[in-house]
């Protein structure tokens, strides 16, 4: 799966934002695969690591805005897990495989698109 971005999208925020981007015909790179989750807080470290193990170029976790998580603490927990993953990757000296968390609302399609574009840029710059 070289070159693919795996994006875990919360069904309350990022998933509808991605749908809205579609309705507006906003374009973003094709190599993204969205996995729908009920809350960013459902995403576990093992899911992120398995995606990287399979060869994902980057992993995104997208949840609700800070302070607006439907399940109150889900997005905060996701953020901590993303940080933890990055720390693990650093310890085993794997770099250039960004794992990032983005926060957005369901009516913010542009934020979804810029998140994807930003990560794509980082991947390109790290030469993968």
Instruction: List contacts with other proteins (CB under 8 A).
Output: 1-2, 4, 6, 12-13, 15-16, 18-30, 33-39, 41-44, 46-47, 50-51, 54-56, 64-74, 77, 81, 103-111, 114
Buried b (16+ CB within 10 A) or exposed e, 102-117: bbbbbebbebbbebbe
Select 3 or 86, whichever has its Cβ closest to other proteins: 3
Q: How far is the CB of 127 from other proteins (least distance, A)?
A: 19
Q: How far is the CB of 109 from other proteins (least distance, A)?
A: 7
Burial class (CB in 10 A: 0-12, 13-18, 19+), 82: buried
């Amino acid at each position: 799966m070289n070159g693919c971005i795996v994006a875990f999208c919360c069904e309350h925020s990022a998933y509808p934002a991605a749908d809205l981007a579609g309705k507006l015909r906003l374009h973003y790179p094709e190599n993204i695969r969205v996995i729908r989750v009920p809350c960013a807080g459902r995403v576990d470290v093992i899911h992120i690591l398995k995606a990287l193990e399979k060869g994902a170029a980057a992993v995104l976790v997208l949840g609700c805005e800070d302070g607006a998580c439907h399940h109150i603490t889900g997005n905060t927990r996701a953020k901590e897990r993303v940080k933890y993953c990055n720390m693990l990757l650093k310890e085993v000296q794997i770099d250039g495989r960004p794992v990032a968390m983005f926060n957005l609302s369901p009516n913010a399609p542009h934020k979804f698109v810029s998140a994807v574009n930003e990560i794509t840029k980082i991947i390109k710059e790290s030469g993968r």
